Amino acid sequence: MTTSLSILGSISREDFLRDYWQKKPLLIRQALPGFIPPLDIDELAGLALEETVESRIVMEQGSDGPWQAFNGPFEESFFETLPEENWTLLVQAVDHLLPEVGAVLQHFDFLPRWRMDDVMISYAPIGGSVGPHIDYYDVFLLQASGQRRWRLGQFCDESTPLLPNTRLKILTDFQANPEQDWVLEPGDLLYLPPQLAHWGTSLSEDCTTWSVGFRALSAEEALCGAADFIGERLREDQRYTDADLTLPRHTAEIDDAALERLQKLLQQVINSPAALSEWFGRAMTQTKYADQLIPQDTDWTTATLNELIEYAEATENLLAVSEGSRLAFRSAAEGQWLFADGEAWFYSASLQPWIEDLCRRFTFDTQFIKLALHNSESATLLLHLINQGSIYLLDEDAGDEQPLH
């Protein structure tokens, strides 16, 4: 029997993954009915003033030409110079900054958490847009306020012509599909698979859109990253050999046999399930920004955890996964790893149920911490996560936080 998730409307999780995920778009009316964004336009603009926040403004007609982009942080005076229409503010990784924004990710628990990238929030007055373009990753577009018109087009690739003289990847030939031309209202959700051309335009003064994006390693990133990681672990005596060498037709020729030997060598060294597992887990949980984690000034110990739970109620949430942190695990024949924000630790197979519970949660109550303290290995892993900043201590009144509805 299949199960449904409210954010997918009448579509079951299984049907969505089979029929839509990375295949075709899906519009879900009132995926989050009654949705009220937890920050307003002024607060979003305030984030764009911060030095540590990644932001940009796109103007359809800038002083230097069409589709001009400006990178933050911005001065308040810059906003005062903007025209009344036809520009867009985009603020990246707002879920890393505000837990109440990150809570929306809990609605996407039918997808791997380690695939999630961030929640970007955009604001645009009437006519605001970033032009017809494509993304190389999956994205869910949640209309938070106002109205935005979305027009979808053709699937594109690296050879698709782009508009010259702009840093933005604007398509020169947008082939609009008249059957996929929709106006989204607050609470509506639009899923777009990778490489599908799309063009969103604000129809109101208060248009804000939340973009839930997903990580997708390029072949170059995977090849170079895995090769570097595995290369550091190779022995000096693992070299090209040609004991089967026969008399060459020409002494300067690199023949097919030589290439076959090279290919065999590369296949031998890359065929390391343990190394690939560890590299992939580290890569897919790596933080979005290098200085994102805030480690403890003084390392916690089991004594710290015991002191924390001494007077707490059994169901009280004391700890939480840091905003933007990624936890994942791999349990396979080659071993068991817990991954968190680019780090990796081995764990015993007997700890599997606890690891799965750890990676499923967003907050941790007294009962969970007590269970971790019953086993030295789980206690050590929990302390690793706390001390490196992947898990942090909630404020006194934060235990009652609930996901957005």
Cα–Cα distances in angstroms (integers) from residue 121 to residues 54, 91, 140, 204, 278, in the given order: 11, 5, 12, 16, 33
The HSE-up count of residue 309 (CA atoms within 13 Å, CB side) is 19
- 3-class DSSP state of 37: coil
What pLDDT is attached to residue 276? 96
Q: Cβ contacts of residue 310 below 8 Å, gap of 6+?
A: none
How far is 134 from 195, CA to CA, in rounded Å?
5
In sequence order, what E strands does 92-195 have? Answer: 116-124, 139-145, 148-155, 181-184, 189-192
Q: Left if phi > 0, otherwise alpha if psi is -120 to 50, otherwise beta: which for 341?
A: left
- Are 211 and 150 spatial neighbours (Cβ–Cβ below 8 Å)? no
How far is 163 from 161, CA to CA, in rounded Å?
7
What pLDDT is attached to residue 396? 52
189-210, pLDDT tens digit by residue? 999 999 999 999 999 999 999 9
- 3-class DSSP state of 82: coil
- Topology, domain 6-214: Jelly Rolls (2.60.120)
Flag residues of the chain having pLDDT under 70: 1-5, 396-405
Q: Distance between terminal CA atoms of the chain?
A: 25
Domain boundaries, the chain: 6-214, 219-271, 302-400
Pick the CATH number of 302-400 from 1.10.287.130, 3.40.366.30, 1.10.3720.10, 3.30.365.10: 3.40.366.30
Q: Tokens standing for 376?
A: 């030295």
Residue where the block lists tokens 């027009």:
151
Q: What pTM does this model have?
A: 0.92
